Amino acid sequence: MSDEISGRGDPLKSLQLLWGRAEAPRRGPKAKASVAELVSAAVAIADAEGLEAVSTRRVADAVGISPMSFYTHIPGKAELLDLMMDAVAGEVLKDRPVFKPAQWRANLTRVATEHRNVYLAHPWVIQLGTHRTVLGPNTFQSADIALSAVEGLGLTDIEMDRVITLVLDYVHGAVRNAAREKRVKELTGMTDEQWWYRVAPFLETVDFTPYPVLARVGKTTGETYGAHDPEGAFAFGLARLLDGLTVFIEAKAVKRKR
């Protein structure tokens, strides 16, 4: 497992690249590849093989330039990772919706679902992202759209930020195992169903008398949705989260009317 994280490189160099303000080389032949092409190649490698497969050499080879030429565009892998994070952030709600305050539950459901979809498409994002936000234009756009989902509800700016943080933290936690499912299959050589089939004969020899509730619930869930049900679990948890926010938001509305 890689210990790479976003925000590990020179933050100012990353910002200059993210916002297109990096100085172009003063000498030498015209560049054969753009920063965007390098980032796109790196994302494709990470999607296909995992974050561990991303290296400056692999990315350079993918776009047909020498490893040394890579560094005329991007200082190093740390800054490349920041660019990758911002690139995939641009996939979240890229067709900016017009949210209606009265439909805030549907708004937040869409925000949560689209973030989940990005995690599933790019599982390495969960591994790479930290609390130090990549301060790029796509990340800013994604955050602005998410906040607009609760605009006009009478919440304070702090409350808006807390609500979106709560929802996105839920998504991050809820999607983690589902996003790693493909990688686990690759590393173990077994699907979840195959893994359970392998361990089932042993479990049948275990005395579950000390665990009566687990035995009953486990049997029911196994018969209902098999090995696991990430989509159902996500939908259930999100609905309960929104139920809690309903109480909070409705209470705020009552106070405003007094």
Q: What would the pLDDT profile of 221-237 be if each residue is shown by its tens digit?
A: 989 988 788 999 999 99
Question: Model confidence over 66-119: pLDDT tens digits?
Answer: 999 999 999 999 999 999 999 999 999 888 899 999 999 999 999 999 999 999
pLDDT attached to residue 3: 67
pLDDT at 103: 97
What is the predicted pLDDT for the residue at 1? 43
pLDDT at 15 over 70: yes
Question: Residue 32: which residues within 8 A CB-CB, separation 6 or more?
Answer: 63, 64, 65, 69
Amino acid at 226: G
Scanning the structure block, which residue is given the tokens 């160099």?
A: 13
Alpha-carbon Rg for the chain, nearest whole angstrom, is 23
Q: Is the pLDDT of residue 167 over 90?
A: yes
Q: Is the pLDDT of residue 200 over 60?
A: yes
pLDDT band at 211; cut points 50, 70, 90:
very high
Find out whether 137 and 86 touch, Cβ atoms under 8 Å.
Answer: yes
Q: Show the domains of the chain with their CATH numbers.
A: 11-87 (1.10.10.60), 101-257 (1.10.357.10)
How far, CA to CA in Å, does 44 sit from each of 50, 123, 176?
A: 9, 12, 20
pLDDT at 14: 92
Of the chain, the percentage scoring pLDDT greater than 90 comes to: 73
User: Is a pLDDT exceeding 50 seen at residue 173?
Assistant: yes
Residue closest to 54 by CA, chosen among 64, 39, 72, 71: 39
Residue 53 DSSP one-character state: G
pLDDT given at position 100:
96
DSSP 154: S
Range list of H helices, the chain: 11-18, 35-49, 56-63, 67-70, 77-89, 104-121, 124-128, 137-148, 157-179, 181-188, 192-203, 212-225, 230-257
The answer on pLDDT for 161 being more than 70 is: yes
Long-range contacts of the stretch 158-167 (C-beta < 8 A, 24+) = 159/252, 163/108, 163/245, 164/111, 166/241, 166/245, 167/108, 167/111, 167/112, 167/238, 167/241
Kindly state the tokens that stand for 93: 């709600």
Q: Mean pLDDT for the chain?
A: 91
Assess whether pLDDT exceeds 50 at residue 128: yes
What whole-number distance in Å separates Cα of residue 77 and Cα of residue 51? 11
**pLDDT, tens digit, for every residue of 23-73?**
765 555 556 889 999 999 999 999 999 999 999 999 999 999 999 999 999
Check residue 227 and give its pLDDT. 72
DSSP secondary structure code for residue 52 in this structure: G
